[in-house]
A and B are shown apart, each in its own frame.
Chain A
Amino acid sequence: MYKILFFLFLVFMHLQSNAESLKLRSPLSDTVKLREVMVVSNIPLDDKDILNFYRTNQFSTLDNINARLGGLSLIKRGAYALEPQMNGFSGGQLNVTIDGMKMFGACTDKMDPVTSYIEPTNLKMIKLKSGTNGSENGCNIGGSMDMTLQEPTLNTKQSNFASIAFGYESVSQSRNILFSTGLGNKKWAWMADGVYRKTENYRAGNEQIIPFTQFEKTNVHSALKFSPDKINSFKADILYDMANNVGYPALPMDVSLAKASLFALEFQRKAKIQLKAKLYFNQIIHVMDDSKRDSLYLLKVKPVGKSDSVYMRMDMPGKSSTLGAYFQMRIPWNENNHLTIKVDNYSNYSIAEMTMHMRYAGFAPEPPMYMQTWPAMLRNVAGIYVENSTYLSPKLVLTANARMDYNVDNLQSEYGQQQFSIFNYTLEKVQGKLIKSINFVAQYDFTNDLTLTTTLGHSERMPTIGERLGFYLFNAYDGYDYIGNPYMKTEKSNFVKMDFQFTNPVIKINISPSISFLNDYIMGITDFNIQAMNFYANGIRVYTNVPSAKLFSTDLQLLYTPVQNISAFWLSKFTYGEINHTEVMPLIPPLKNIIAIQYQKDELQVQAECETALAQNRINSNYGESKTPAFTVFNIKGAYGFTLSKVSMNFSAGITNLFNKAYYEHLDWGRIYRPGRSLELYLKMSY
């Protein structure tokens, strides 16, 4: 239910900020704002107007928020750690950063997207850019998602605060505690926020309890800011996130530990020329666990001299550490031109191992079998980004940006080198590559109400470590073992996007179609010459550059306010993908709509929301897809705020999946039913 509220505000703010941009025509105005409004979906979670509103919805997960964002869909493998997909792009095709800081999951099976280590309560803002234009923090083709962390505020009314909130969801007996606190004076400010969540297996709409959907997590973030004067400031951030006992019903194993820690130091100077410098380190440790699964497998073919049933356990730890820094300058070099220059460098070290322990019923254990599914690799990327905005006339703004990244992959593991000799590769220890991105954006105001923004871009991206050096990675979706290609070419995209925005006090509409023409698209192609490793795998797929692919995507966002207390919202997302002009691109969601109506009077809010998706019949069965039926789900929620002797209280209650519908979405792996009807209660006290 809070989802709706949130969504409403996202749309609202989005359109609102667009409206504002119309007023910000003066070339002397803040470049940041102008630039962002032009090409970014900006979601200011802590805007003063929605502060209270947002806080009442703090206990929604980041996944819930992402599900409501234009262009975003979620790939679901369990109740936790959903993987964002933007306009059909996911994984290594997206730039997911935290304040521009790079961070990479440590799971070979994509169980830990970076978003799973961040909680909404840690965040101030999420910035989305689509297509090739999302390359501010690294060359990429699918878009970017930059999450800005909450920061302490100096010497304002909001500097000193404390709040605690409790939430409960009946469907999974989910218990949530959130806290947030801050202190500040003229020069120093400090804040901390955190979450503890514990959920049990949830119940689906058909009353069935879905096993392995439990999880437990703790998240703490703290920041300290020092500002010697009005212009300069220093900030330090620490973020720690730990999830335990996370179930993944769609995968053959769970996660016993997923742990992230992040440290960052920042310097900012807000003069006419704005400077920002950042130094950071983060580390992710990911330990998979199949000890709770039924580890007895019955074999189709009985091995000679063994039994036909085998107990199998796999130890699969992964680790990813990133050390990086960037320096950024924004220069208004004349009245009509604003320039941004950013230089950055990061090094990521990743390794993932697998040791299999097998024991045939009635036999002594087999010797342990070890391999490096991601052989230890150090990837260093040094980049430079330049962007210039020119205000040609009061109606027309042109922006051009370009980025170059020099990528060096240094294979640290001799073991990995040896592993790949199997496929007749003589692996170079060090591989360097220069990759580029360039984009042009034109924003034109036809009238005060109507704005058209056009983006043209070209970009490429490096293959991920899994796509380059992955070694027998089991994909539970299509049932194949995946192998990397050490000499994979970069994936390239030519991108066109149109943004139509119509804004007046009663109705606000945003339609944003985009198309990406992809070359050397990276996907797994079946290799019949190589045998699968897992006895439950269907075969082997080798990551390969296929000549061409296409992704078309469009969003419709509409906000209608016929009378003062009532608003209606409508969001539609549609994506269409094909490979080599003939084949259906797998894992593309069908048309999805979210429609919500909100009534607000004083401290009372009531909302109703309807979520629908069409059936997805356009599928690629070679890649494990099957058709997904359409569904409609209703949610309702109410919230009421009051003050009790200086403590402001906010109480909300809602019912999600009102009619207890048993359904799943097309991107849900394993076709596992989503939660059924759930009562949600939430109480927040703040001082």
Chain B
Amino acid sequence: MKTNILNITIALLISVMFFSCKDDVETTKVNSLEGLIKLEEGYAIGAAAKVEVWGKKNFFMGYNNLTVVLLDSINPTDTLKDAHIYFQPLMTMPQTTGMPMKHACPVENPNEMAMNGVFPGAVAFVMPSMGGAWNLGIYVHNHKNDKSATVNFEVTVDNPPTTVMSVFTSQSPDSAKLVLSLLQPQAPKVGMNDIEFTIHRKASMMEWPADSTYTIEITPEMPSMGHGSPNNVNPVHVGNGHYKGKVNFTMTGEWKINVAVKKDGTTVSKNVYFNITF
């Protein structure tokens, strides 16, 4: 009992200290690369820029948050803060007969102006490297010298132990090929969690635009016990192909989130689900 009271007191003291330090934290520069590892680096020679690609872990099939850092190739201590960056992923799949098949995948290109000195964006790899070879091209238009060039990385895209992306053909008359990625929760906990998806549509081999015309319904389930959870909030479109909602977990363990993607009220997905274990 005493220890509990003591714990509260300590917690209160710590929180007081924390709040009093908060101002200092905000004035110091946020380290935008904290928790990230450098996945690739190379030179976009014509643009006089050194390109670094940072991420939480190696590339995987799914929605990858990628942070690009641009450095002046002559003076590498100088970070470039104003540039156009385009992700140009390309998969080459050798075919048994004829020409190899080539296709891209959905991307979210960074803003022109760096955020806290870096360029966050995303690439949603639609398959792992097993079926072919992924090349991640990064086109850089350096606004400092108004020159542009592309750097190419041969990357390995892993097949993650738990699936976080579903690529399927829509059960609608247009038979669109859809890419459904699970972005959140990344650190699931018991209780209410944010859940976020993206939907991209394959317009052609090279164009995979975001699509806001679908609705998503989620049904979490604990398959081992056969129960679900109450008060989940179906994701709604919030912009740029992103859909956000809430998912509830009543306990730790293995959860399955059944997802129905709908167009004009009709389900166009078939048996799509994601497992979350914690």
Contact = CB atoms under 8 A, between A and B. Distances in A.
Interface of A: 281, 299, 301, 303-306, 310, 321-323, 347, 349, 356, 358, 360, 366-371, 378, 410, 412, 415, 417-424, 471-472, 529-535
Contacts, number: 98
Contact of A367 (B190, B229, B249, B252): B252
Contacts of B231: 422-424
Contacts of B192: 418, 421-422
A422 B229 contact: yes
Contacts of B8: 378, 410, 412
A422 B191 contact: yes
A533 B253 contact: no
Interface residues of B, number: 28
B233 to A, nearest CB: 10
18 contacts: A301-B226, A303-B223, A304-B223, A306-B224, A321-B1, A366-B224, A366-B254, A367-B254, A370-B251, A371-B252, A378-B8, A412-B8, A418-B190, A418-B192, A421-B192, A422-B229, A422-B230, A535-B225
Contact of B250 (A417, A422, A535): A422
A421 B252 CA distance: 15
B226 A369 contact: no
B235 to A, nearest CB: 17
B191 A533 contact: no
B224 A360 contact: yes
B228 interface: yes
B1 A323 contact: yes
A371 B223 contact: no
A364 B228 CA distance: 22
Interface in B244-278: 248-254, 277
A371 B250 contact: yes
A369 B249 CA distance: 11
Nearest to A410: B8
Which of the listed residues B5, B7, B228 has the most CB atoms from chain A within 10 Å of its own CB?
B5
Contacts of B7: 412
Nearest to B277: A367
Contacts of B228: 531
A419 B192 CA distance: 8
Which of the listed residues B249, B253, B277 has the most CB atoms from chain A within 10 Å of its own CB?
B253
Contacts of A347: 1, 5
Interface in B1-38: 1-2, 4-5, 7-8
B4 A378 contact: yes
A420 B252 contact: no
Contacts of A471: 250
Given A412-B4, A424-B231, A369 B251 contact: yes
Nearest to A299: B226
The 3 closest A-B pairs by CB, nearest first: A418-B191, A369-B253, A421-B192
B222 interface: yes
B230 A368 contact: no
Nearest to B251: A371
Interface string B55-81: 000000000000000000000000000
Interface string B185-202: 000011110000000000
Interface of B: 1-2, 4-5, 7-8, 189-192, 222-231, 248-254, 277
Given A301-B226, A412-B7, 10 more contacts: A303-B224, A306-B224, A321-B1, A349-B4, A356-B253, A370-B252, A419-B190, A420-B191, A471-B250, A531-B227
A487 to B, nearest CB: 16
A423 B1 CA distance: 29
Which of the listed residues A281, A321, A415, A419 has the most CB atoms from chain B within 10 Å of its own CB?
A419
B4 to A, nearest CB: 5
Nearest to A430: B8
Given A349-B1, A368-B253, A422 B248 contact: yes
Contacts of A367: 252-254, 277
B227 A421 contact: no
Contact of A358 (B224, B230, B248): B224
A291 to B, nearest CB: 19
A378 B11 CA distance: 15
A281 B3 CA distance: 14
Nearest to B271: A304
Contact of B227 (A368, A420, A535): A535
Nearest to A372: B190
A533 B225 contact: yes
B250 A419 contact: yes
Contacts of B223: 303-306
A155 to B, nearest CB: 37
B230 A281 contact: no
Contacts of A418: 189-192
Which of the listed residues A306, A412, A418 has the most CB atoms from chain B within 10 Å of its own CB?
A418
Contacts of B226: 299, 301, 303, 535
Given A410-B8, A423-B230, A530-B230, A369 B1 contact: no
Contacts of B190: 370-371, 415, 418-419
A360 B226 CA distance: 12
Contacts of A529: 230
A457 to B, nearest CB: 32
Contacts of A417: 191
Nearest to B256: A304
Which of the listed residues A323, A369, A371, A471 has the most CB atoms from chain B within 10 Å of its own CB?
A369
Contacts of A366: 224, 253-254
B79 to A, nearest CB: 38
Contacts of A419: 190-191, 250
Contact of A421 (B5, B191, B224): B191
A471 B250 CA distance: 9
Contacts of A423: 230-231
Contacts of A281: 1
A533 B1 contact: no
A424 B5 CA distance: 29
A420 B190 CA distance: 9
Contacts of B230: 422-423, 529-531
A517 B254 CA distance: 47
Contact of A472 (B4, B189, B250, B277): B250
A568 B2 CA distance: 53
A367 to B, nearest CB: 5
A10 B38 CA distance: 82
